[in-house]
Structure 1
């Protein structure tokens, strides 16, 4: 009798857990993130180590701007399985929105290695790299103050992650007046860094990653020297004019690239949500709209344009299968296959072949399905 009661209680607990999870997901879809969090929290009280529940609550925290809590839940989901790709993605997202772009990049890469077919990881890598470049690509983005702001010194660690190649240039002797004129607002940063180099206690210190502060400061100074040398060799009619032109070109490129990345991330998430909810028509409409936009963009704006188009062809094909339009679905899956071959993407290739085989089976063309 005791065993029967225990089994019954266990079944009831599982039923309550499933109901709480379903309620939480429904609240999330409805935009009721606080209520969704409450449901997931109750569910975790029943199953304290459920990684799917931690991931679901982490998504809610992200939507509400609670990035610390989102990170904590993402890490909790990885405790029992550090290769759990959903947990890795949410950890990377939380770090990204916390401004920890370097660490976010690490986890986007880790997730992409595990799930190369997931567009979210590739786009995450792209947006993290852009954010890093925007933060340290030019010294004007970080204004060092005499108060002792050392945030700019992260440039050393970041340059290693983004794998930027450094070009050696021969330095031309220049007077302080010329240097000040060429660097403009950056000159005060240069002087501040030079003063830091005189602080022996400071430069002998190390960062959390074990790198010497002295080496980081020296790299920053080298970067400023490279900029000075570049502007000096260009001999612009006005140093200020050259700086403005340089920054305008970089900002325009970054803005366009950032807009396209943000749009794709949001759109792919919406398409996935529509498909998972069983709305084939909504999936088809959204995917076709996004495809029109992507086709208008250049490969400079979307470096992996062909891969994105392949993903969209796959989404459209799957939606058409659900709508019963097998001929059109087959066309899109074949286009996905062609792009996968062009880009040499094993994950996308496998996806396309699976989808083509599925269409043949639905059409009862079993001989063709076997050949695929």
Structure 2
């Protein structure tokens, strides 16, 4: 369900407009362009022959959500979830639609009704004309003026900096000479300006529907009050609350909602730090998990220094609590940060410390391979070959073809740098076999390209193999 073609979106370029998958893909394009109505139309067309087509259901729900029709969007998210409960997208859709509905209407408990105002409606008419009836039209007119002022103020708050752009566009419409002109494509300037204003008005309506200003102010106060209570009074079942929160954080990070996951992790950490170990017996372990989540999120966002600090905090807590699994996780992540920033020697030292804690052949295959890659970067080719061999042995033990492929490539690269071309060819041939079994076309093509260069290397006298950089990089 993921859509990643963001460079160039051309809804008209689909070759099979009647194919339901093409319709769904074009619907995504329309959503990217802000044309929710066309997106909805394509989604509905994709469902004509098969009402249970889950991709069409999801796309229809997305279009309805974008249009601000949260209730119907929720219906279709639920239908899709019933058909394909294993798909995370439907669960997230249900959650965001429900939140949008709550944000629009607010919860009943947060609205307090008061018995003030004009109650004369509830009294029986006695035939007496109210004294102030003659002024009703004038008062209504004033109310209407005030209402317009509030509407403009609300639009200004919702649009923010874009509000000045909207005002500028409205001023341009008053320039009669300008609006009569045309741009290069033949489109009238007036139509272009009106279209821009219409788009901003549509966005204003959508944002107001999704989160009214009054609801934001009211809910912010309520949330602050609730948060203050949470800090001093934990939930009735803290362990269940923490587990559910950790699951939400893990889900957010897994589906790529990095900033959302990071925010939730920080909020949970703030709460957990205020609780005693009597309330939450595994407090240290939970904090370690949160440091790990925050570190991974920061690493995904490219903030390596802060990511490293978080993983070091995780390691510190693991050592204090003698938590071996947590220590292994922290060392794993610290090594990954070092490798990402090019500090290969530090990565090797950290990962070698993790080696005794590794559990299972798969983790060993990965760990040996990563250490070998670091040695290859440091031009220590014998060490790289040795760790490649250890990675291959671990992969053979569990018959993991992917890691057999990666380990074989690593060994081939090391042998190539050492000038052992026959051994290099042997490892590349084994890697090629694994790539074909895995149906990895790009890997197969890259290996075959390098293999064609090996005979050339064998037939020439080369000053030193390291002068000829490898064209092939591991496939992870």
TM over 0.5: no
**TM-score normalised to the size of structure 1?**
0.36
Provide the TM-score with structure 2 as the length reference.
0.29
Q: Which has the higher contact order (CA 8 A, sep 6+)?
A: 1
Q: Which structure has the bigger radius of gyration?
A: 2
